[in-house]
Structure 1
Amino acid sequence: MIQLKEDKEPINDSKVRSFIAIETNKELEKGISDLIEKLKRMGFKANWTQAKNVHLTLFFLGDQKISKIAHLAYKIGERLTGFPTFIFKIQRIGFFENNNVPRVLWLGIKDDPTLVGLYEEVKKVIKINEIDTKEGDFVPHITVGRIKGYPNHWQELLNSLDFEEIKVFVNSIGIYSSTLTKKRPIYNKLYTVDFEGGVIING
């Protein structure tokens, strides 16, 4: 494991759009791919999440200098050393709506105090490092798609869908860059913060 040194300055210190998230697994990737195919057959149209991009977002950081992201990774690594590994469970399909119009389809996660504890620990480091993030209740979910079109009786159709529970093992978090393109965002993991201690530089 590569231990990131706090005084190591990146050669390129431009700003990048970034976020902190938990990587998932192949089982969830397949589950989302199968679910999206069912939704398409029902008549839903959306900007669908690519299976390879599936993750559980903890914080959106916005545009930050690479040096600040590196420093944040180091500080989060210090804070999370010794944090317990755990499993969270994905077990239901949900949606956000506005005026009875579906906007976002997502997969909900069973209430988990360890997941909430992880969120709170990372939030403390973000605040100490004076990075502004949106305040609000932590509602962990995994986005399936942002709706562009939907069939009649869409709510009944969504309620008819079952999603078999999937377990995700967590022993680290990642800091990612997000590059917006005309088709979809491109994600690149910059740092992996391991609960056993240390930060892996990914790119």
Structure 2
Amino acid sequence: QLCASLVSFESLADAQAAADVLCTEKLLNSLKQLVVEGDSMVVLVIQLLHCLCLNPKNAEKLASCGIFPVLTAALRAEDELLRAQGLAFLAVLAEQEGMELVLANAGICSLLASLSSSSSSDIWYWIVAIVLALLPRTAQLRPPHRKQLLRTLRAAAERLADGSLRLQQSECRLLKRALSEMHVYTRMLKSAPIRPVAVRAV
């Protein structure tokens, strides 16, 4: 009902104002506890968090209550719907200025690396989308975080090459773009050169 009420507003400004009012410490702590307990409503919790972040300022409130480390841990579960919903939410947050270090410290880079064994095209779409969102601000990330992002992309390219991962042409283009941009940003940071990897659709 809360999600429905937020998306029912005629203007984005009204929805953002309502989201700001709803995003209280009490609500966030309750939602966090549901995620910690692995409640069956976790997918709905993620949808509500996504709606609350219609107001970008609420991302800081979520960070303050410590919900991001809990969420990244929950997304390691073998639940494709949960992963897809959670990664879609994290992709939106990753595009927000100033959130890159918050998400990295919450374990998003290690999460993506751990999901690199997934064969789901939907999951890989969001993985690459998150990496692309983080890349322009990789200078803010610690070297281990950058290495985890690179490891994730290279795992996808290698699995495409050996046929263990099948992606649509559009997703392959996104992956190729991410690898190319990672190469550029790494050189800009004067790190070790990264050998480009050929990516082809299967």
Say whether the fold is shared (TM-score over 0.5): no
Query: Greater RCO between the two (CA within 8 Å, min separation 6)?
Result: 1
TM normalised by structure 2 equals 0.23
TM normalised by structure 1 equals 0.23
Judging by fraction of residues, say which structure has more strand.
1
Judging by fraction of residues, say which structure has more helix.
2
